[in-house]
Amino acid sequence: MSERQSVLRLDHVTMQFGGVVAVDDLSMEVGEGEIVALIGPNGAGKTTAFNAITGVYEPTNGQVSFLGAPVVRNHPQGKMKKQYKGSDAALYANEPVLRPTPDKLTALGMARTFQNIRLWKTQTVFDNVLIAKHMLKTSSFLSATLHANRAEEADQRAEVAALLEIARALATKPKLLMLDEPAAGMNPQETAELTAFIGRIRTEFGMTILLIEHHMDLVMDISDRIYVIDFGKLIAHGTPEVIQNDPRVIDAYLGVEEDA
């Protein structure tokens, strides 16, 4: 782990909603080129952790760092002068992010999919991917308007929705790809295909991947390391072999999960 460069790092991140502590003092790290899984029982706080990382929520406590720089709300260096523009995304990498809204984090290179599929339903398959590339657009508002060219219609079938979400996330040219239950609702055959597909994304794009998944075949097959959380707390961390044999994990999660 230590020889790799850190892509994502969480230090004691806590996410609280009123009395509910959805993520409790979670620390974890994802290194460059790794596939890391975040697993745990239903309601353990996995999706909430994703939301806290991607800026949908602001962590109640703790620190998220991306590409070695902290993602902070009010950085002492003061207001960022440069207005956000897609083509300037690279410039951002060296600047502290003032308000980590999701779009700014995406501009930095964080891309995700959603557990409850959030494709733009009125848009075609092609447009869904194209819109994700909008951020990278260098042309101005006016010139983009004058060069409009609409894509042809395409069918949007449910089976490809998860893959399309991945394609859409990849279209933002991320450095970290975060997948929230990509295999949900897939049969073993489709899951095996997806496993191979995620592996290819890693080898072909050198992508770093953080994955939430309940299908244990997929998780054990492709993860380098696994973090297990229960009730928001980290209960185990290690390679697939270590996790599979950890009595606390078996007790809290794996033992119950007969159908996965």
Partner 1 sequence: MIDRKAQTRKNLISLAAVLVFLALVLVLDQTIKPTSKAYMLLTVLQKGSVYALAAVSMNLLNGFTGLFSLGHAGFMLIGAYTYAIFTIPSDARDTVYQYFDAAVRVSFPETLGGALGGFGTALGVLLAVLLAGAVAALFAYLIGLPVLRLKSDYLAIATLGFAEIIRAIFQWKKLGPITNGSNLLKNFARCSTFKLKLGETTVSLSTFVPVLIATLCIALIVLLVNSTYGRAFQAIRDDEVAAEAMGINLARHKMLSFCTSCFFAGVSGATMAMVLSIAQANNFKSAMTYEILLMVVLGGIGSISGSVIGALLFISASEWWLRGLDSGTFLGITAPTVFRNGFRLVVFSVIIMVVVLFFRKGIMGDRELPEALRKKTKRGEVSGNE
Ligand X SMILES: Nc1ncnc2c1ncn2[C@@H]1O[C@H](COP(=O)(O)OP(=O)(O)OP(=O)(O)O)[C@@H](O)[C@H]1O
Closest distance between Mg ion and the C-beta of residue 116, in Å? 9
Rounded to 5 degrees, what are φ and ψ at 170?
Answer: -65, -30
Chain-centroid distance, C-alpha 124: 23
In the list 81, 150, 158, 203, the residue contacting partner 1 (rule: CB under 8 A) is 150
The DSSP output letter for 159 is G
Nearest to 27 by CA among 242, 220, 233, 219: 233
Residue 195 lies near ligand X (rule: CB under 6 A): no
Residue 48 binding target from ligand X, Mg ion, partner 1, none, CB below 5 to 8 Å by type: ligand X
Q: Site mask, ligand X, residues 58-97, x = CB under 6 A? A: ----------------------------------------
How crowded is the C-beta side of 158, counted as CA atoms within 13 Å? 4
For the purposes of burial, counting CB atoms within 10 Å of the CB of 203, is it exposed (0-12), middle (13-18) or buried (19 or more)? exposed
Binding residues (CB under 5 A) for Mg ion: these are 47, 115
* Alpha carbon distance, N-terminus to C-terminus of the chain: 29
Report residue 139 as tokens.
């042309």
In the list 6, 33, 95, 114, the residue contacting partner 1 (rule: CB under 8 A) is 114
In the list 6, 27, 63, 115, the residue contacting ligand X (rule: CB under 6 A) is 115
Residue 172 lies near partner 1 (rule: CB under 8 A): yes
Give whichever of 6 and 101 is closer to partner 1, judged by the CB atom: 101
E strand intervals along 46-205: 61-66, 69-71, 110-112, 176-180
E strand intervals along the chain: 6-17, 20-31, 35-39, 61-66, 69-71, 110-112, 176-180, 208-212, 225-230, 233-238
Residue 111 binding target from ligand X, Mg ion, partner 1, none, CB below 5 to 8 Å by type: partner 1
In the list 120, 159, 196, 197, the residue contacting partner 1 (rule: CB under 8 A) is 120
Give whichever of 174 and 182 is closer to Mg ion, judged by the CB atom: 182
CB 46, CB 212: distance < 8 Å: yes
Q: Which of the stretches 164-172, 193-201, 240-248, 249-257 binds partner 1 when contact is defined by CB under 8 A? A: 164-172
Give whichever of 26 and 129 is closer to Mg ion, judged by the CB atom: 26
What is the amino acid identity at position 230?
D
Query: Which residues lie near partner 1 (CB under 8 A)?
Result: 54, 56, 83-84, 86, 101-104, 106-107, 111-112, 114, 118-123, 126-127, 130-137, 141, 144-152, 154, 168-169, 171-172
List residues near ligand X by CB under 6 A. 17, 20, 22, 40, 42-48, 115
